Amino acid sequence: MGKGVGGIKEEMTIILIFAISFFFFLLLYISYGNDGQRKKKKREKMRYKCRESRRRLMAYSVCSIRMKMESISYI
């Protein structure tokens, strides 16, 4: 790891790249899943499922970012 501010900036850029790619993948996954559900089920059920899945995905993404932060700090 680099000394001083430079090392911190490098770590932050790596974390940002991971987070942006992860959220982009999640957005694609959510939009693709919703299209499939609209065709199969009624809109009310779909809306409820979307809310639930979004809550779970947000919790999961926060946990994964924390895990990445911890793993980077251990190195």
| Tens digit of each residue's pLDDT (9 = 90 or more) over 25-55 | 888 777 766 555 555 555 566 555 555 656 6
Burial class (CB in 10 A: 0-12, 13-18, 19+), 35: exposed
Are 65 and 20 contacting, i.e. CB atoms less than 8 angstroms apart?
no
Are 42 and 54 contacting, i.e. CB atoms less than 8 angstroms apart?
no
Share the mean pLDDT of the chain: 68
| pLDDT score for 4 | 53
| pLDDT score for 28 | 79
| pLDDT score for 29 | 78
Q: What is the DSSP letter of 3?
A: S
Checking if the pLDDT of 13 tops 70, the result is: yes
Tokens of 24: 């982009």
